[in-house]
Amino acid sequence: MGNGRGESLSPAGDSLSATIAIESAEVSNFLTSDTLAVILAGGGAEIAGYNLRVAVDNPALIIEEILPGDIPDSCQWEYFTASEGNIGADDSGIVSVWQIVALAKSSPDTTRPLCLGFDSAGSVAKIVFSVAPTETLTDTLPVFFYWQSCRDNVTSDVSGGSLILSQDVYNLDSSAVTDTAATFPTRGGCPSSCINLRRPNHPKRGIVFRNGGVIIRDSAPSPESD
């Protein structure tokens, strides 16, 4: 089980400001809850909020709930919510999608959060999951970042005035899936159509997203047929 903190996950390249990664976990006990942390890392990166969307494409993996990570919890951020979203006709192969939103401040008062990040890697959310021994069970059950609109998988800078978008996206096996020419919905990151360079304070790229998931140690018995 991930503990929400860990070794720094350095972004691949000096121009990238941060990495947001879903942990991987090995399990062998089915129908037992465990946790995957969503980790923010990158040289003491500070953010004022985030809007993340994660998805699952195998019904054997069940997301039960998503809890605040160490950063919004320890820093006493004012707002956190996570909820299961709708799956549209275009979301081919998706069986579950969740939105995670957190804000260091939700109102313009004088109260200041204790912090906007850690000096080392820290979790922004914790995904509570279980695995069911179904006919769809495979050795690896991915949990991945998913884009249904330009507002998905973005962070806010410390001022709250600029949004930071995806730079690159990698699967659990470290293969790159970045596709800035894609249309929604996509697993390949935020499309270039979301960035209007003529607008002042336009969103900027700067986050490496790394997908995670669950690795099954032992094969589960197939469900008994009637």
Tens-of-pLDDT digits for all 226 residues of the chain? 444 433 333 333 333 479 999 999 998 767 678 999 999 997 667 899 999 999 999 999 999 999 999 999 999 999 999 999 999 999 999 999 999 999 999 887 767 889 988 888 999 999 999 998 877 778 899 999 999 999 999 999 887 788 999 999 999 999 999 999 999 999 999 999 999 998 888 899 999 999 999 998 765 455 554 4
Q: What does each C-alpha distance from 84 to 48, 129, 135, 169, 223 come to in angstroms? A: 23, 13, 24, 22, 27
What domains sit in the chain, N to C, each tagged with a CATH number? 17-216 (2.60.40.680)
Tokens 């799956």: give the residue: 87
User: Nearest CA to 63 among 91, 89, 82?
Assistant: 82
pLDDT at 224: 53
Strands 96-103, 204-210: pairing is: unpaired
pLDDT at 132: 87
pLDDT at 94: 98
pLDDT at 43: 63
Are the C-beta atoms of 48 and 76 separated by less than 8 Å?
no
Q: What is the pTM of this model?
A: 0.86
Please give the Cα distance from 65 to 44 (Å, whole number): 28
pLDDT at 29: 63
Which strand (E) or helix (H) includes residue 74? helix 70-74
